[in-house]
Amino acid sequence: MKIDGIDKKIIRSLIKDARTPILSIARDVGISGAAIHQRLRKLEKSDLIDGYQMMINSKSLGYTTTAFIGLHLETSAVLTSVIKRLKEIPEIVECHYTTGSFTLFVKVLCKDEMSLLLLLDRKIKLIKGVLKLETFCSLNQYIKRQILV
- Please state the pTM of the whole predicted model: 0.86
Q: Residues near 141 by Cβ (< 8 Å), separated by ≥ 6?
A: 66
The answer to whether 67 and 108 are in contact (CB under 8 A) is yes
Q: How far apart are CA 102 and CA 76, in angstroms?
A: 12
Per-residue pLDDT of the chain (149 residues; tens, 9 = 90+): 789 999 999 999 999 999 999 999 999 999 999 999 999 999 999 999 998 888 899 999 999 999 999 999 999 999 999 999 999 999 999 999 999 999 999 999 999 999 999 999 999 999 999 999 999 999 999 999 888 88
The DSSP bridge pattern shows strands 130-137 and 65-73 to be antiparallel
Q: How far apart are CA 49 and CA 53, in angstroms?
A: 11
- Domains annotated for the chain, with CATH where assigned, are 5-45 (1.10.10.10), 58-137 (3.30.70.920)
99-135: buried (b, 16+ CB within 10 Å) or exposed (e) per residue? eeebbbbbbbbbbeeebbeebbeebbeebebbeebee
pLDDT at 53: 85
